[in-house]
Amino acid sequence: MNFELGTTVDAGLVRGMLDTIRHRGPDDEGLYLGGQVALGHRRLSIIDLGGGHQPLSNEDGTVWIVFNGEIYNYRELRAFLLTKGHVFRTNSDTETIVHLYEEFGPQCLEKLRGMFAFAIWDENKRSLFLARDRVGIKPLYYCLADKSLVFASEIKAILADPAVDRRIAPELIDRFLTFLYLPGEDTLHRGIVKLAPGHYLLAKDGQVEVRQYWDLQFAKPAGSRNLEDAKDELLSLLAETVQLHMIADVPVGVLLSGGVDSTAMLSFAVEGTEKEVSSYTVGFSDPGVADERPYARLAAEAFGSSHHEMSMSAADFEAFMPQYVWHMEEPVCEPPAIALYYVSKLARNYVKVLLSGEGGDEAFAGYGNYRNLLWLERLKRGLSGSTGTVARGLSLANSVFQSSRVAKYGPLMNSRFPDYYFSRTSNPYRYAGNGLAQLYSTDFARSIDREHTLEPVRRLQAHVRSENTLDAMLYIDTKSWLPDDLLVKADKMTMANSLELRVPLLDHKVLEFAAALPSSLKVHGCTTKYLAKKALERRVPKRILDRPKAGFPIPYEAWLRKDLRGWVRDILLDKRTTNRGYFDASRMEKLVSSSQDHGGNFKEIFSLVTLELWHRAFA
C-alpha cells in the first residue's frame, strides 16, 4: 500500500474525532501535533492516575505514543529498561512501551504481556508504528484516504474525517448473514479495515506494510502429558495471570456469569488481594431461560465478594438497540451484549475495571460442538469402507447431534475436515442457498460471490489443514469468532460505560499452554474442558462445576416473538429496509410471520434488525 504524508493536520479535525469516543476515556484528553502527523487520546485512568497523560514521549520528544489497554508485566519491563539507562518520568505502563520500542523497535511486541492497541510516531525515522495485541482484545481500525493514514479505536472516529469514504461494501452483507458477524479484516465501510490480531502496521518511506508477529501454535511437547502435572501447571498459571490482571490504581470487580470460568476468576482474584472484591451479574426469571443469579450468588458467598445483581426487560432491550448498533459499529448477532451493557452500567457505579471469564471455552474446548464434531469425525473414519454405510452412519450422527449445528451440514460432511467447519456461529444452510440467502432479491443474489464470503475462514482452514480435528476448530474460532464477535462485544459494551474489561484466560501464556495440550485433556469422553474442570474441582463449587453450560442467556427469543413483535415488523417490513435492494419484501414478510407465529429463526431476525439499524446509523 502506498502512503504519503500530506498537508498539516488540522487540530480541530483530531479533536472532533476524539469527541466521538469520549466514552472510551472521560478522564483526560491529549493531543500531539507534529505538522503532518497528529496523535489524539482520550484517557480512562487506571494506572498512575496523575502521571499517565497521553500522548506521551521519550526523554527528548522524538518518539510519541497513544495507547489503549494494559501491559501487565510493565513493572518487570520497567526494571529491565532502567538497567539500560532509560529515564522514566511517570509510573505508567504506557511509558514502558515507549522505551521498549527505543530498545527493540517492532520486536518490542514480543516482550509485552497484555491487551493493547497503540500508535508510535518516530520523528527520527519518520515512521508510524501501529500494533494490536495477540488475540484482538483491543480494537484498532485504519483507513488510507486521500494520501493520509487515519486510525482509531473505533470506526466512528475515522468517519469524523470528511476525507474518508463512507460507502458501504454490499458484497459483505452475505458474509455477515452467513457468519452472523464479520470475520476477517474487512468492515462494511469499503475503505476502513481492522488491523488483525497479532499484527502490526509500519508506515515509512511512502509504503504501508502489515506484518504478523504472533500466531497460536499447536505444537505438542515430546512424550505424554501427565494429568496431575498439567493440573498443577494450569492452577499456577491461572493464579499468576489473575494476579497480574488485578494490577490497578482503581477498584477492580468480577463479572460473574454463574459458570466455571468466571467463578474461577473470582476465586483467584479474592485469593490474590487484601482489598474487597465486588462481583456483578445479570439474570432473568423468564420461563425456559437459565437464570444465572442463583449460581452467581453461590460463587459470591463461597469467596466473599460484595455482590450486586440486576435484570432487564424487553423495553430496556428495545430502547438500547440503536445505541447497541452505534457502539458496536459492526453488525454482530450478540443479544447477550445488551445484557452486558446494562450489567456494566451497574458495575460502573462501583469499579472502573472488571475481570471476565471470557475465552476459557475457546482455549480449553468448552463447547459441545467440539465434542460432537470429534465424535462425528471418528464415526466417519470408522465407516469409511462403504459409501452406503457412511451415508447411513452420517444420517444417524445427524439425528444424534440434532441439538447442534452438526445436524445441518448435509453434503458438506463428505468434505475433508476442516473444510466444513467455518465457525461456531455459521449456518451451513446458507452455503447451499437456503436460510437467509432465500430472502435475497434476484439482483442481489446474482451479485454474491460465495468464495469471497468465505475467504477469511478459508485462509484459516488452509493454515490448519494438517492439525487434528479439535485443534483445527479451536484455531479457527480463536482467530475469527473470538476477536470479531465475542471480543468486539466485550470491549464496545463495557467501554460504552467507560469501564475496562480484562480477560485473564486470554493471556497469551494461557493460550499457548492450552494449545500445547493433547486433545484428550480438552475433550475426554463426554466431558468438555476436561483439564480445566479437573484442575478447578476443589476450587469451584460442585453445583457450578457440574451444571450444563448456559452461556450468557437472555430471553430475547420470547421478546422478539411477543413483547417486541410490532417493533420487529416495523423495522424489517419498512420500505426503507426493502428498498435497499438486498431482500425480497414478500419473502421477508413470510420469514418474520413464520418466526413470530411458530418460533424459530430468532438469531436471523435479530441479525436482520441489527443490519437495518446499522444502515440507518452509518450508511
Cβ 118 vs Cβ 65: under 8 Å: yes
Residue 288: pLDDT above 70? yes
* Helix ranges restricted to H, 109-209: 155-159, 173-179
- How large a percentage of the chain has pLDDT more than 90? 79
Which DSSP symbol is given to 93?
Answer: H
Torsion of CA 112, 115, 119, 121, to 10 degrees: -20
How confident is the prediction for the chain on average, in pLDDT?
A: 90
- Whether 615 has a pLDDT exceeding 50, the answer reads yes
- Please choose, from the candidates 83, 75, 85, 86, the residue with its C-alpha nearest in 3D space to the C-alpha of residue 112: 75
Say whether 279 sits in a helix, a strand or coil.
strand
For position 190, what pLDDT does the model report?
A: 92
> What's residue 392's pLDDT?
53
* Span 424-453, average pLDDT: 75
Task: Let me know: does 21 contact 153? Beta carbons within 8 Å.
Answer: yes
pLDDT score for 24: 98
The model carries a pTM of 0.93
pLDDT-derived band of residue 431, with 50, 70 and 90 as boundaries? very low
490 pLDDT more than 90:
yes
Q: What share of the chain is helix, strand, coil (3-state, %, to 5)?
A: 50, 15, 35
The pLDDT of residue 493 is above 60: yes
CA distances from 216 to 63, 325, 374, 460, 507 (A): 31, 31, 21, 12, 12
Q: What is the CA radius of gyration of the chain?
A: 24
Q: Over 80: is that where the pLDDT of 385 sits?
A: no
Domain edges within the chain:
11-168+186-212, 227-311+337-364+495-545
- What the block records as the C-alpha cell of 401 is 447431534
Q: What is the CATH number of domain 11-168+186-212?
A: 3.60.20.10
Strand partners, 360: none
Q: How large a percentage of the chain has pLDDT more than 70?
A: 91
Find the mean pLDDT for residues 533-562. 91
Q: What is the predicted pLDDT for the residue at 561? A: 95
pLDDT, one tens digit per residue, over 62-75 is 999 999 999 999 99
Output the pLDDT for position 380: 75
Peptide bond into 418 cis (omega under 30): yes
**Residue 129 confidence (pLDDT) above 60:** yes
Res 408 pLDDT > 70: no
Confidence band of 402 (pLDDT split at 50, 70, 90): very low
- The yes-or-no verdict on residue 398 having pLDDT over 80 is no
Q: What's the whole-number mean pLDDT along residues 271-282?
A: 93
What are 155-205's pLDDT values in tens digits? 999 999 998 988 999 999 999 999 999 999 999 999 999 999 999 999 998
Question: What is the pLDDT at residue 427?
Answer: 53
> Helix or strand or coil: residue 526?
coil
Tell me: pLDDT of 552 over 80. no
The per-residue pLDDT for 286 is 82
Q: Please indicate whether residue 8 or residue 392 has the higher confidence score (pLDDT).
A: 8
pLDDT at residue 498 is higher than 80:
yes
* pLDDT > 50? residue 592: yes
DSSP category for residue 38: E
Work out whether strand 192-194 and strand 252-255 pair parallel, antiparallel, or are unpaired: unpaired
Report whether CATH 3.30.2320.80 matches the domain 227-311+337-364+495-545: no
